[in-house]
Every structure is written in C-alpha cells, then in structure tokens.
C-alpha cells in the first residue's frame, strides 16, 4: 500500500505537469483547490463553519496548533513527540530547522508521507522507475519524510547530519559514491573540491542559492545544479531538466504579495488533510520568471529565491531587498566570493569579509547604493573568519535585536 501510494502520486504528478497550456493547468488546479476547500478544510476546528480563509502566519498557527490538525495535537504534545519518537497515534510530527529561532511544527499521516515521496521523485528523479539511484541527503535535521524514501525499493537514501563535524562523514560519503546529492549550497561548495565524488545530479536545498556558489558547485562537479525548494509548509518547488526552478503548483496553490519587484508567497497545501495550511504567509522573497520555460511545463518558473522578507533592510519608508544588497557587494570586486552583511541599527550596516580583498570597493559600492536612495547610513567594514556550520547561511541579514 505504501509503494502504491507513492506510485499513484508519481504518475499523477507526471500527468499533471505534462505539456499543456497554463490556462488549462490553472483550470485543473482551481477544481482541485475547490474540492479541498469543500471536503478537507472544514475537517479541522479552526475552519469548521467558517466562510472565509484569513491569511495566517507562523505565530497564529503555533498559538492554536491543535485547531489546525484533525487529531487535535497541541503544540506542547507535538514538541514532546518531536523530542522522542516523533510519532503520535500513527501520525508523524516534524519541525523546521528554525533559522530565526521561531520553529514551526507539522503533522502528517503515513499516506501523506508516501504521497510526498511520489511527488518528489516525479519532479527530481523522473527516471527512478528505470534505475535505482543512491541519494545522499546532507541536512541539519532528519525527518520521517526521508525515512519514507529509504523504505522505497526505487532508491537507496542515506542521511548525513550537518550537526556533526563534516569531515566525520566525508569518507562514508565517498565510499557510497551517490548518484544524487541534496545539500545546502555551502556544503556543496565544500564538497565540490572533493574530486572523488562523481554525482550525476546535484540539488541545492535549505538555503538561498547565491550566484558565486552556483558557479563554484557546477564547476566542481561538472553537472548542472538543480534546486529543491522545501519548507515546513511542504514541497514548494523543484528544478526541471532545463535547470529552471518551478513552483509545485500541482500540490500547492500560491498567491503573491508584492515586495518591490519581488513577491512573497501565501500558500495553500491543497493535497494535505491531516494538518490544514490554507493561505499561510511565508517569509520568502521570490523573483518570478516572466517567460515560459523551454521544458514546456505549465508550472510557474522562478528566476530566483532571493531570501527572507525579514532580511529586507528597512530605513524608515525606504526598503532594500537582499538581492540588491548582495549584488552591490559581489559586483564591487570579483575577488569577493563570500561575505556577511548585517543591518545592526536604524542607520548602521556592517560588512564582514575574511580578508581585505575587495573591502574598499564593496564599502564604496554600499555607500553609493544608500546615497542614491537619499539615505545617511554608516557602513562599517570588519575582517573576521566566515565560518559555516549547521545553521542556515544568510549572507544578508537584519540583526537589530541580535537575532
């Protein structure tokens, strides 16, 4: 039954994303979404008897967690289970990595776990029915979703924990010789220098992918880099064979709030019924593509996942998004491949580099950027080691409260 659920989800995903017009796909999505609203959404207390779907965030969800899942599991029960077996009455409890310290919980059924597996395989490894891949997942948090993949005969999945010293599992990774590697960009950059790894496919996940990292990863492995866009809210997007990231609109309905020339998504996971996520506001910033993808998919293409909405630098009424700030630093000097940029006060910005390379040019570029917007901002340069650890890498971040 588990394999059948995964297979059915695999076939459905391939069928839905086959070559068809965008208009025809949106008609299909609207029917599926309406059926979910009618059949599944009223099954949790928060939406029972409601005619509206208010936009919600993580704070509202976590404050009334039991009202959003069919089993009535409270946040306290969820955290207790997550610290132990991660199971409550046959349901799996998972959590986000908590980049900002504000972690989120999710609850899924076994059926949903294997449906997720089928969707993921259909998007990331569509040839899995012809051959058995060796997949290495390198992340800071293990979840039951990866166990689902490990129970499949379609692939062999190994998990490597970023909370451990990276060198402690490198030799095991080399011995395994995975055909597919899924890891954050900072890890892939590090691994790209390990000449004994020869994956056929590489996917960036869990962190914002910056252009210098993409270039280093593709040069090191000699294969195009794909992306898997996933969060507590579920699978949100996967790159196609052309290397273009497509939103998973066949399982999630997206609405978009404008943030300058970017958008921040509001998502409704219309294939999940154990825990309802309807019109849930995410914290991400996306640059949507205005062009159809050459692969022919009707799913919305994304040019870039830029970063987090709360890492937009705000100076009164003037907002500057992370991509603009990042590009100002990187374009100032090609010798800069890594940096940290923080807003530490209402008019204080600190740039950290590992050495003096490009410091003067980057500081000048940032000062020119702020001046062009009529801002008086103190831009300070610091030199310090740029360490990587299990936490998500955020090169551009707001740290007004030390967060």
Residue-wise pLDDT for 350-381, tens only, equals 999 999 999 999 999 999 999 999 999 999 99
Which element (helix H / strand E) includes 235?
A: strand 234-239
CATH node for 312-398: 3.30.300
Q: Is 333 helix (H, G, I), strand (E, B) or coil?
A: coil
Residue with tokens 């293409």: 301
* pLDDT surpasses 70 at 99: no
Report percent pLDDT > 90 for the chain: 67
What confidence score (pLDDT) does residue 403 get? 46
Grade residue 188 by pLDDT with cuts at 50, 70 and 90.
very high
What confidence score (pLDDT) does residue 229 get? 95
Question: Two tokens at 149?
Answer: 């993949």
Q: Which residue has the higher pLDDT, 51 or 276?
A: 276
CATH node for 2-308: 3.40.50.12780
Question: Two tokens at 277?
Answer: 């996520």
pLDDT tens, residue by residue, 124-182: 998 887 888 899 999 876 666 666 665 566 678 889 988 888 889 999 999 999 999 99
Q: Which residue has the higher pLDDT, 403 or 65?
A: 65
Is residue 197 within 8 Å of 228, Cβ to Cβ? no
* Nearest by Cα to 311 from 370, 387, 396: 396
Domain edges within the chain: 2-308, 312-398
CB atoms within 10 A of CB 70: 16
Question: Two tokens at 87?
Answer: 């199971």
* Nearest by Cα to 6 from 149, 165, 107: 149
Which element (helix H / strand E) includes 110?
A: helix 110-124
Grade residue 393 by pLDDT with cuts at 50, 70 and 90.
confident
Is residue 10 within 8 Å of 119, Cβ to Cβ? yes
**DSSP line for 83-113:** TTTSEETTEEEEE---TTS---EEEE-HHHH
What confidence score (pLDDT) does residue 383 get? 95
Distance between CA 230 and CA 175 in Å, rounded? 28
pLDDT tens, residue by residue, 310-336: 899 999 999 999 999 999 999 999 899
Distance between CA 150 and CA 307 in Å, rounded? 31
Question: Two tokens at 224?
Answer: 């195009």
* pLDDT surpasses 50 at 100: no
Distance between CA 196 and CA 347 in Å, rounded? 47
Grade residue 251 by pLDDT with cuts at 50, 70 and 90.
very high
């Amino acid at each position: 039954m588990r394999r059948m659920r995964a297979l059915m989800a695999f076939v459905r995903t391939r069928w839905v994303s086959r070559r068809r017009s965008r208009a025809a796909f949106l008609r299909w999505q609207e029917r599926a979404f309406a059926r979910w609203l009618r059949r599944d959404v009223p099954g949790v207390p928060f939406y029972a008897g409601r005619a509206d779907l208010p936009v919600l965030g993580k704070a509202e969800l976590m404050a009334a967690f039991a009202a959003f899942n069919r089993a009535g599991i409270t946040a306290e029960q969820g955290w207790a289970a997550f610290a132990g077996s991660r199971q409550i009455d046959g349901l799996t409890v998972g959590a986000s990595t908590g980049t900002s310290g504000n972690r989120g919980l999710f609850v899924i059924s076994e059926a949903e776990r294997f449906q997720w597996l089928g969707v993921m395989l259909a998007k990331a490894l569509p040839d899995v029915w012809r051959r058995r891949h060796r997949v290495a997942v390198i992340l800071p948090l293990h979840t039951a979703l990866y166990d689902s993949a490990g129970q499949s005969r379609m692939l062999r999945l190994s998990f490597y924990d970023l909370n451990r010293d990276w060198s402690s599992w490198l030799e095991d990774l080399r011995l395994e010789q995975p055909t597919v590697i899924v890891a954050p960009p900072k890890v892939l950059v590090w691994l790209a220098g390990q000449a004994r790894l020869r994956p056929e496919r590489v996917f960036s996940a869990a962190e914002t992918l910056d252009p210098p990292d993409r270039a280093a990863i593709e040069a090191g492995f000699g294969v195009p880099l794909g992306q898997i866009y996933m969060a507590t809210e579920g699978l949100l997007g996967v790159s196609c064979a052309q290397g273009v990231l497509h939103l998973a609109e066949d399982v999630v309905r997206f609405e978009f709030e404008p943030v300058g020339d970017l958008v921040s998504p509001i998502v409704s996971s219309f294939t999940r019924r154990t825990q309802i996520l309807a019109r849930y506001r995410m914290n991400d910033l996306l640059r949507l593509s205005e062009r159809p993808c050459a692969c022919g998919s009707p799913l919305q293409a994304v040019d870039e996942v830029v970063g987090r909405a709360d890492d937009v630098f705000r100076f009164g009424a003037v907002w500057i998004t992370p991509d603009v700030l990042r590009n100002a630093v990187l374009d100032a000097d090609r010798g800069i491949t890594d940096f940290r940029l923080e807003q530490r006060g209402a008019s204080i910005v600190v740039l950290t580099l590992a050495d003096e390379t490009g410091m003067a040019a980057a500081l000048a570029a940032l000062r020119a950027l702020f001046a062009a917007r009529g801002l008086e901002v103190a831009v300070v340069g610091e030199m310090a080691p740029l360490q990587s650890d299990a936490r998500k890498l955020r090169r551009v971040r707001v740290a007004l409260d030390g967060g």
